[in-house]
Amino acid sequence: MVLTGAGVSTESGVPDYRSASGIWAEVDPFEVASIQAFRHDPERVWSFYRARIHVLHEAEPNAAHHALAELERLGFVSAVVTQNIDTLHSRAGSRDVIEVHGSIRSAQCLRCLWTESGEAALAQLEVRSAPLCPHCDDILKPGVVLFGELLPPGALERATDLARTAGLVLVVGSSLEVWPVAGLPLEARDFAIVNHGPTALDDRALLKIDAAAGETLAAVVEAL
Ligand SMILES: [Zn+2]
């Protein structure tokens, strides 16, 4: 099982959240990306995500995404559990992707539980400051897990099962700071980490490689 975080997408030009140059150094997540903020001022939350979604639509999968898709095709990877909302794993060809923090491919109505496509929500943002549910007219919520929200039902359970049965959990591009996902490697028999900079679990890992995800995973594919 592979567990990925923002660091797998930085080589695609997608800014991460928690580094010194990350998104949360510029804006307070509780003001633009929390469920409290959405209930209080959904237009502000959508103004933040609208800009994010445009950046993510411009981004292309990088060598790390392609290598993980190839490792799945070769039978070495059973599933990718990702904290990323950017859909780049699927676009690179990974088939079993568990998006534990949701994604930009949808938007949801909290009142009637309708799920709208991300494209349709984005199209509405051309004419209004927050997209509306086509069924009940309530304001849609981005399909990403906001701070203060629970993870999508079943996602964490499936990821935990995969971690417990995997021969190895490979962590790529995550500093393992956001719980409960950060606890997944501890469920595994063994885990290895590829990440630029320290993570919370470096001293518990079987192997830690402090390097860029793209070149490292491309080398793994080459070696196998
Ligand atoms: Zn609705």
Q: 78 C-alpha to center of ligand 1: Å?
A: 35
Q: Which residues are catalytic?
A: 101
Give the pLDDT confidence of 38-85 residue by residue, as tens digits. 999 999 999 999 999 999 999 999 999 999 999 999 999 999 999 999
- Taking alpha carbons only, the member of 179, 177, 176 closest to residue 205 is 176
Count of CB atoms situated within 10 Å of the CB of 60: 10
- 165-211 pLDDT per residue, tens: 999 999 999 999 888 899 999 999 999 999 999 999 999 999 999 99
**If residue 51 lies in a helix (H) or strand (E), which one and from where to where?**
helix 42-58
**Which helix (H) or strand (E) element contains residue 213?**
helix 213-223
In this structure, the number of other CB atoms found within 10 A of the CB of residue 97 comes to: 21
Distance 218 CA to ligand 1 centre (A): 44
Summarize pLDDT for 115-162 with one digit per residue, the tens: 999 999 999 999 999 999 999 999 999 999 999 999 988 999 999 999
| Residue 38 alpha carbon to ligand 1 centre in Å | 15
Q: How many angstroms separate the alpha carbon of residue 139 from the centre of ligand 1?
A: 8
Do 156 and 180 form a contact (C-beta atoms < 8 A)? yes
The dihedral formed by the CA atoms of 118, 99, 112 and 134, expressed in degrees to the nearest 10: 10
